[in-house]
Amino acid sequence: AVVTGAGQNAGRAIALELARHNAGGIAVNDFVRERAEAVAAEIEAMGVPAIAVPFDVGDLNAIKAADAAIKEKLGPATILVNNAGMAGPGGSLRPSLNFWEEDPENWERYLRTNLYGVYNCCFGFIPNMVEAKRGRIVTIVSDSGRTGEPKLAVYASAKAGAQGFVRSIAKELGRYNVTCNAVSLSSLMPDLPPEQL
């Protein structure tokens, strides 16, 4: 299993839960190397193989390199959890300005992580699933993609795009025994310690 954004919070909890159910090995992604390595060490302490794969989900070449490293240590990944989100590396998700008051340069950080990141990871890991004739893709979205979120219009539209994308690839991948689901945790997650998520 590959879990993106798994160095903390919900992603960490997902990675640990997959390990508890012996998903066969966990690739822990985060854009902060130390966080990915710490969670991978936790998983290995449980007796489950793990590897830290730090990369930015917006970088398709980095994903391809991670796929090669994962195959070498764990074998081909047939489970993908697209959890990385929010405002990307170094960003925070806090409502601030109305859409028309924003600097358009800020749009890219929301789109890169929440939409293009999902595209990139699926593009990078789906071939493993098609070849194996089995797989699971879970994409963490947000209710803001369905209802909208004031002062976070671009984030909400990126999440809505991810939801539509998941529905579309589900129709493409069903014949290969690959399921695709979108799960909404909330429109804005509180800052809770990992053990409370």
Residues designated as active site: 155
**How far from 82 is each of 93, 100, 113, 150, CA to CA, in Å?**
18, 30, 10, 24
191 Cβ neighbours under 8 A, 6+ residues apart: none
- In eight-state DSSP terms, residue 167 is H
Q: Cβ contacts of residue 90 below 8 Å, gap of 6+?
A: none
With beta carbons less than 8 A apart as the criterion, state whether 162 and 145 touch.
Answer: yes
Among the residues of the chain, which ranges form H helices?
Answer: 9-20, 33-45, 60-73, 107-111, 117-132, 144-147, 153-173
Secondary structure in 3-state letters for 46-64: CCCCEEECCCCCCCHHHHH
Amino acid making up residue 3: V
Alpha carbons 97 and 50: distance in angstroms, whole number: 41
